[in-house]
Amino acid sequence: MSTSIIEVEGLEHQYGDFKAVNGISFTVGKGEIFSFLGPNGAGKSTAINILITLLKLQKGEACIAGYDVRTEAEKVRESIGIVFQEVTLDRDMTVWEILEFHGRLYGMTRPDRKERIAEILELVKLGGQKDMLVKKLSGGMKRRLEIGRGLMTRPIVLFLDEPTIGLDPQTRMRMWDYIRTVNDEGTTIFLTTHYMDEADNLSDRINIIDHGKIIASGKPWELKNELGQDLVYLETSDNPRARSIITDLVSISGVSDKGKGILITTNDDGTKILPLIIEEIRNSGISVITVNLKKPSMDDVFVHFTGRELRDDKPGKSPATFRRR
Ligand SMILES: Nc1ncnc2c1ncn2[C@@H]1O[C@H](COP(=O)(O)OP(=O)(O)OP(=O)(O)O)[C@@H](O)[C@H]1O
Ligand SMILES: [Mg+2]
């Protein structure tokens, strides 16, 4: 196991009476891409904001690069780079000015700034836009610039709060490549996301966070394996009854409602189990409308652990609802 760069123990945070972060503990190893996957209002930004010393640590312990978040905030800030959930770039500055200003703010020497800006522009592929005003950049370019700015001071850890929010699918995939490149150069990455595919593709380790708690944690394939081997999705003329029939069959490790149908997890080969399931249901006079067989996806993992889909997050059930951007 690699050395820990982030160590968090029993972290809690309250806004008034409301507990947004409710006792989370984890460690992040050097060089890892570590993610928080959770719906709106899960507490991801709150947790990140405590770690980057933007919010005061109320309860628990947190250490970054060996520095205590509570007592060594200055040292913590020197060790990290940050990309916030909302764009925080001055629209009337150029790409080069953004990086130059940031370098000065952090006391980098002139030669060091010059060298680092050249490296950053190459890394995030903004060399051609270096004299362009921020307001003329596309959403993806702005995000790349923010990542570049976060990397100016050669941080040990880069915090990315929803790095691809609002970007189109192609741009998002390209962003993943930049993030991987940054990681390959040795930077530990802590990211939050509510995109299943992002967590799945990018993370070495995913933590599913909901209502301020980590409810599952592991490598993407470990989380998927925990669901059993194969998944069968069925829509029938009588789902509740079909559900109770299926529950009693052998090799069935779980049955839950999903959309208009039911999702069945088996710890056996789905191609063999499926005909048996259909036969049992038909014998009970229930007709089968739709059948689908597949290996577990991150979506299924999420439903399994939270008992709901991201977009099913209902008002009142959780403090914040799913917002489309
Ligand atoms: N300054 C604040 N004052 C009061 N409540 C807050 C404040 N900031 C966040 N909250 C609440 O705390 C909970 C967690 O919010 P947080 O922003 O950490 O969630 P998140 O997981 O980052 O969500 P999102 O995916 O929408 O960014 C939410 O219910 C939110 O409404
Ligand atoms: Mg957030």
Rounded to the nearest angstrom, the distance between the alpha carbon of 53 and the centre of ligand 1 is 16
**Nearest CA owner, ligand 1 atom 30:** 41
Question: Tens place of pLDDT for every residue, the chain, 325 residues?
Answer: 458 999 999 999 999 999 999 999 999 999 999 999 999 999 999 999 999 999 999 999 999 999 999 999 999 999 999 999 888 899 999 999 999 999 999 999 999 999 999 999 998 889 999 999 999 999 889 999 999 999 999 899 999 999 998 888 888 888 899 899 989 989 999 999 999 999 999 999 999 999 999 999 999 988 988 877 788 999 999 999 999 999 888 788 889 898 899 999 887 888 888 999 999 999 999 999 999 998 888 888 888 888 776 554 443 333 332 333 2
- Atom of ligand 1 lying closest to residue 194 CA: 25
- Atom of ligand 1 lying closest to residue 45 CA: 22
Within 8 A by CB and 6+ apart from 290, the residues are 233, 234, 235, 261
Pocket of ligand 1 (CB under 6 A): 15, 20, 38, 40-46, 85, 194, 319-320
**Nearest CA owner, ligand 1 atom 4:** 15
SS3 sequence of the chain: CCCEEEEEEEEEEEECCEEEEEEEEEEEECCCEEEEECCCCCCHHHHHHHHCCCCCCCEEEEEECCEECCCCHHHHHHHEEEECCCCCCCCCCEHHHHHHHHHHHCCCCHHHHHHHHHHHHHHCCCHHHCCCEHHHCCHHHHHHHHHHHHHCCCCCEEEEECCCCCCCHHHHHHHHHHHHHHHHCCCEEEEEECCHHHHHHHCCEEEEEECCEEEEEECHHHHHHHCCCEEEEEEECCHHHHHHHHHCCCCEEEEEEECCEEEEEECCCHHHHHHHHHHHHHHCCCCEEEEEEECCCHHHHHHHHHCCCHHHCCECCECCCCCCC
Rounded to the nearest angstrom, the distance between the alpha carbon of 194 and the centre of ligand 2 is 9
Which ligand places an atom closest to the C-alpha of 40? 1
pTM of the model: 0.81
- Atom of ligand 1 lying closest to residue 39 CA: 25
Using most ligand atoms within 8 A of CB, pick from 11, 14, 15 the residue to mutate for ligand 1: 15
What is the spatial distance between Cα 289 and Cα 292, in angstroms, rounded to a whole number? 10
Domain positions in the chain: 4-223, 228-295
Residue located via tokens 């370019």: 141
CATH topology of domain 4-223: Rossmann fold (3.40.50)
Using most ligand atoms within 8 A of CB, pick from 12, 36, 40, 190 the residue to mutate for ligand 1: 40
Tokens of 289: 């409308």
Which ligand places an atom closest to the C-alpha of 16? 1
228-295 is classed CATH 3.30.70.920: yes
